[in-house]
Amino acid sequence: MARARQERAEITRQAILDGAAIAFDRFGFGGASLSDVVKHAGVTKGALYFHFQSKEALARTLMDEQFQVSAGVPAIEDPGLQTVIDLTHQMAYGLRANVRIRAGIRLVIEFGSFTNPDPTPYNAWIDTCHGCLKPAQDRGDVFPFLDLYDLSTLLVGSFTGIQVTSHVRTGRADLHARVIDLWNFLLPGIVPADRIPLFDPAGSPECRAELGLTAADSPAVPVG
C-alpha cells in the first residue's frame, strides 16, 4: 500500500515537472503562472504545492535537468576532448528534443539576468569541461600552454550564445551544424596539428548513433 502511494506520488511529481517545463519553455519564468503549470500537468494546485513549495522551487528543479546530459561522464574511463565535443552535441540534441532541458536552459539564462544572478549552472559545466580537458592536455591532445579553466569558460559561454542565436534564427534547427562550426574554428587553436584528425567536430560515431543524427542534422565539415 505504501509503495503504491509512493509510486502514485512520483507519477504526479513527474507530471508536474512536465507541465512546468511546457509552461516555462513557452512563457519563461516571469510569464508562466502556476495555473499554467497545473493546466499542462493535469493536476490540482494542492498536488502541486504538496511537491513544490513555490514556482521558484519548480524552476530550480528543472534547471538541474540539464545535468542529465553529463550524468554519465564520471563513469567514462578515459574522458578527453572528444567527450566534450560529444557533450555539446548531446546538449544540442536535448535542447531540440527534450522540453525539460529546453525549459531548464531558458530558466538558467533568465536567472542569470536577474538582479542577483546565479552562476552555479555555468560553473558546474565549466568544471565538467575542465575535468575532461585535463587528461586530454596531459596526453598531448591540447596545447600545454593553455589555461584549461579559461578554455572551459570560453566553451560554455560560446555554446550558450550559439544555442540562443540558433533558437532565435531557426528554432534550433541548425544547432548541430553551428556546434560543428564552433569546433571547426576552435580545434586548430587548441589542438596540435598532428592530433586534430583524432577528433570529430560532428561528434563521435557512438554519439551520432546514440542521438540518431543524420548528415542533415550534422553535416561534416573537415577541419582545416
Does residue 7 have a pLDDT over 90? no
List the one residue out of 33, 15, 38, 102 whose CA is nearest residue 66.
Answer: 102
**Least trusted range by pLDDT, from 21-30, 121-130, 211-220:** 211-220
List the one residue out of 158, 53, 149, 167 whose CA is nearest residue 106.
Answer: 167
List the one residue out of 20, 23, 29 whose CA is nearest residue 49.
Answer: 20
Residue 212 CA: distances (Å) to CA of 37, 140, 149: 31, 31, 31
Cβ burial of 153 (10 Å; 0-12, 13-18, 19+) is middle
Cβ burial of 106 (10 Å; 0-12, 13-18, 19+) is buried
Q: What is the mean pLDDT of residues 152-169?
A: 96
Output the pTM of the full model.
0.88
Q: Which stretches of 32-54 are DSSP H helices?
A: 34-41, 45-51
Alpha-carbon span 41 to 129, nearest angstrom: 35
Q: Give the rounded percent of residues in the chain with a pLDDT score beyond 90.
A: 68
End-to-end CA distance of the chain: 63
